[in-house]
Amino acid sequence: MKTIKRMMDHLYWADGRILDALEESETKNKDLLKLVRHVAVAERVWLSRLQGKGSAQYSLWEEAEDLTAIRTMFEENAEQYRVYIEGLEESELDEMVDYANQSGVPFRTSVRDILSQVLLHGQYHRGQINRALRFESAEPVQVDYITFARL
């Protein structure tokens, strides 16, 4: 549990750093904004599944106009994940969660694998965002775990 908690703390930190970089760049790139929104919504989708709720109401690939709304979503996600993780026992990590994906297809996945998906999915897309920032001649931001661990 200690490792998962630490990695989730990294996720919250990295989400904030990537948003700061996007705000600083003043990008108007709709694809880039759509991608960062996707990360926030995906975190919310997986959290809903972990909480035993449906996720069909969330659209993963909508346009995004405003980083403020995305930041709010990331902050709400972090708060709700913290509550969820604090109430989670080590023995519950291997419990299975039944859910339907956004297309309604049923799946069954362990809590451990869902949390791993959340952690890895965000880092993957933050890398894409940083690359796009570089193409826009903006400064990418360091979001590596080891940088976080040295704080």
Helices (H), 26-102: 30-50, 67-86
* 10 labeled binding residue: no
Q: Which residues contact 96 (CB under 8 A, 6 or more apart)?
A: 108, 109, 110, 111
38 marked as part of a ligand binding site: yes
Distances (CA, A) of 65 to 6, 28, 43, 111, 123: 31, 9, 19, 33, 22
Reading phi first (left if > 0) and then psi (alpha if -120 to 50, else beta), residue 26 is in left
Q: Are 27 and 133 in contact (CB under 8 A)?
A: yes
* Binding site feature residues for a divalent metal cation: 38, 121, 125
* Binding site feature residues: 38, 121, 125
